[in-house]
Amino acid sequence: MTSFCPIFLPVFIDAGAKKLVLGKIWIYLQKWKEVADRLKEEMSPFFFAVAELAVSRGFEVADVNEGALSLNLNGEFAVMVDKTGAMNYHPYKEVFDMMDEVAKLWEEIPGEEREEGMQMNM
């Protein structure tokens, strides 16, 4: 029986390449900050509260689009919450665990419109 033993060779990066890599990382972080700032501006107090709750439970904020907050879980669409608190979702356990808290936030946040939200298609 033979075993595999990987050999690690040192990798040297010259100063110019190092600056280039750091520059790309800096640009990426700046773009991410711009997107995060834009999302905060577009979020109502209700969406902001839902986003904080969702992030604390492992979700990622995907977008705020046409009056709805989209959340991903493990890089895939998980749930969309509209401004009325209605939810369009994949039946993930994590989404079900969060539903009551989202409804409670909607009740507690003042100034949100109380209108009919998304409807289930059957």
Pairing of strands 60-65, 76-82: unpaired
pLDDT in tens, 71-118: 999 999 999 999 888 999 999 999 999 999 999 999 998 765 555 544
User: Helix (H, G, I), strand (E, B), or coil: what is residue 87?
Assistant: strand
Q: Specify whether the CB–CB gap between 60 and 73 falls below 8 A.
A: yes
pTM score of the predicted model: 0.61
Pairing of strands 87-89, 68-73: unpaired
Instruction: Identify the structural domains of the chain with CATH numbers, from first to last.
Output: 43-111 (3.30.310)
pLDDT in tens, 3-48: 444 454 444 445 555 556 566 665 655 655 665 666 666 678 888 8
Exposure string for 1-18, b = 16+ CB within 10 A, e = fewer: eeeeeeeeeeeeeeeeee
